[in-house]
Amino acid sequence: MESHKVELYIYDLSLGMAAHFSPILIGKKIDGIWHTSIVVYNREYFFGSRGVESCNPGSTALGTPKEIKLLGETQIPYSVFIQYLSGLSETNYSYNSFLLEQRRKTLTEKLAKKERKKEKKRRKILKEGGVVPAELEDITMADTAAVNGNPESTLPSEQVLALEEEERKEEEEKKKARDPPIVFKDLIDVKDEFDSLVALIDGKLSPEEQKSTEELQQYMIGDEGSWALSDGFLDYINRLLNDKNFPADVRVKTMNLLAMAALKDDVILVLHQDRKDHVLMNFAYEIDRLSREEQEAVALFMANMFENLSSSEWLLYISEWQYNTQQISNIRVTTKVSVHCLLSDNPILQDRGSAIIYNLAAKEVKTVVFDDIAVEITMALLQYFNQKPSEEQLFRCMKALARFADVSRQEVPQLIQMIGPEPKTFRGTSERVDILIEQISSKLR
């Protein structure tokens, strides 16, 4: 597993004055007033006014550290570290503690499941009079503690790290097995888009926001990981998207850059930071009030979010929050954006809307997720069919309709028969469309 250097940065808050004046003031020498931070994954973490904060190493207001000590190396995956760190932070403490507890619970359940399988196999061998293999006897104290839910069993342990590796492999296999999502990787020149954004906001930002601009550059152009983004990054994005003193082009450029960020594997760590304020989804929910260019950027962002399993699952979260007078959720916003785009008269929006709906339907999720949206999207698809779409967009929409007809076996087929047009109307468009029409038609009989 990959190792990461861990360092302790030691600062003297008095900048040497404590050692100089303490004998005079209190009759006893104090070498310094110490403040420490941890540097790992090329990021400096410390307690600040907002709880656990982070920055580029050595860039705090305290300047250069008085001393740097190498503590060793860690093989803990960055995602586990971030989850643990979030639980320490005073900001959003309850929510982040819940996340950490859920993670712990999931891993404990997996360990327990593995042990039950071992025990079942061992009993079967004993019953048959065979010799128990050594690996089935290898139940360590840590295994037992995990199975029994012992609170002393802490993360990360060797077993948890092994499970992390298993989960990573499982996710890779799922990614290989799934239908490839429709994403748009080459529409935006990231450097040009960033330079254009900087030109629009130059001289209008606070020092903290200027630092966030530099972090965005590191993430998008310097190809750094999401660790380059500080805790206040989404506050910066919030201002770019919602400050009406900025021209609409600022919102367009910002969303286009976020759409390209959506293609990155670690974008989920940024998204999880938005679980409190819902900056991104609140903005997307207003799609019908945005300019055409802004709508296209929102649609691009949402389509590209399906590139990675974790970010696509984030789009389907059903937990609700109140926005203005509405109760909304990620899945409701995703549905609204896809339907709005599909039924617009803008070919670009139609293209991206059909891509989002295709990606939605291709997801392997629990039926309950689609129960709430299948009818709404089906009605939009049937209305869109009256526009005589191209073969590519017809294929995407038929693929979605086939999935929803399979999920909602009563309501969706009834809607197709009541509203029309019948899928067989498009028979002969292409072989792949004909296959989907047959699948749908079998549900109408």
Measured CA to CA, the distance from residue 365 to residue 12 in angstroms comes to: 53
The residue-averaged pLDDT of 367-384 equals 80
| Dihedral angle, C-alpha 188, 191, 196, 198, nearest 10 ° | 130
Predicted pLDDT at 168: 59
Predicted pLDDT at 419: 83
- Pairwise pLDDT comparison (50 vs 247), residue with the higher score: 247
Predicted pLDDT at 93: 44
| In contact, 132 and 47? CB cutoff 8 Å | no
Predicted pLDDT at 364: 65
Q: Which residues contact 378 (CB under 8 A, 6 or more apart)?
A: 401, 404, 408, 411, 412, 415, 416
Query: pLDDT-based confidence at 38, cuts 50/70/90?
Result: very high
Predicted pLDDT at 164: 58
Look at residue 398 and tell me whether its pLDDT is greater than 60: yes
Length, in residues, of the chain: 445
The segment with the largest mean pLDDT, out of 5-9, 12-16, 400-404, is 5-9
Look at residue 287 and tell me whether its pLDDT is greater than 80: yes
Among 51, 100, 37, which residue's Cα sits nearest to residue 232?
51
- What is the DSSP secondary structure assignment for residue 179, as one 8-state letter? P
The residue-averaged pLDDT of 389-413 equals 88
Vertex 233: Cα angle to 232 and 236 (nearest 5): 95
Predicted pLDDT at 62: 83
Look at residue 2 and tell me whether its pLDDT is greater than 80: no
pTM, to two decimals: 0.65
Measured CA to CA, the distance from residue 408 to residue 402 in angstroms comes to: 10
- Pairwise pLDDT comparison (299 vs 58), residue with the higher score: 299
* Cα–Cα distances in angstroms (integers) from residue 19 to residues 12, 37, 62, 64, 277, in the given order: 10, 21, 17, 18, 45
- What is the DSSP secondary structure assignment for residue 6, as one 8-state letter? E
CATH fit for domain 4-75, picks 1.20.1260.10, 1.10.10.10, 2.40.50.140, 3.90.1720.30: 3.90.1720.30
Query: pLDDT-based confidence at 224, cuts 50/70/90?
Result: confident
Query: pLDDT-based confidence at 105, cuts 50/70/90?
Result: low
Predicted pLDDT at 78: 80
Whether the ω angle into residue 421 lies within 30 degrees of 0, i.e. cis, is yes
Query: pLDDT-based confidence at 52, cuts 50/70/90?
Result: confident
Q: Compute the mean pLDDT over every residue in the chain, rounded to the nearest whole number.
A: 82
- Pairwise pLDDT comparison (169 vs 333), residue with the higher score: 333
Q: Identity (one letter) of the amino acid at 405?
A: A
- Going across the sheet that includes 43-48, the strands are 51-55, 43-48, 34-40, 4-12, 67-74
Predicted pLDDT at 426: 92
Query: pLDDT-based confidence at 29, cuts 50/70/90?
Result: confident
- Residue 254 phi, psi (nearest 5): -60, -50
Among 80, 271, 267, 41, which residue's Cα sits nearest to residue 164?
80
pLDDT tens digits for 402-427?
988 888 777 888 888 888 788 888 99
Look at residue 258 and tell me whether its pLDDT is greater than 90: yes
* Cα–Cα distances in angstroms (integers) from residue 252 to residues 110, 189, 283, in the given order: 43, 13, 12
- Residue 11 phi, psi (nearest 5): -115, 145
Token digits of residue 88: 């320490």
Query: pLDDT-based confidence at 131, cuts 50/70/90?
Result: low
- Pairwise pLDDT comparison (159 vs 360), residue with the higher score: 360
The residue-averaged pLDDT of 184-203 equals 94
Percentage of the chain exceeding pLDDT 70:
78
Query: pLDDT-based confidence at 334, cuts 50/70/90?
Result: very high
Percentage of the chain exceeding pLDDT 90:
43
* Domain ranges in the chain with CATH number 3.90.1720.30: 4-75
Predicted pLDDT at 201: 94
Query: pLDDT-based confidence at 146, cuts 50/70/90?
Result: very low
Query: pLDDT-based confidence at 369, cuts 50/70/90?
Result: low
Least confident of 29-43, 75-89, 95-109, 422-436: 95-109
Predicted pLDDT at 384: 93
- Pairwise pLDDT comparison (211 vs 151), residue with the higher score: 211
Predicted pLDDT at 423: 87
Please report how many Cα atoms fall inside a 13 Å half-sphere around the Cα of residue 29, on the Cβ side: 4
Predicted pLDDT at 7: 95
Tell me the DSSP string of 285-339: HTGGGS-HHHHHHHHHHHHHGGGSHHHHHHHT---EEEETTEEEEHHHHHHHHHH
pLDDT tens digits for 291-328?
999 999 999 999 999 999 889 989 988 888 999 888 99
Query: pLDDT-based confidence at 223, cuts 50/70/90?
Result: confident
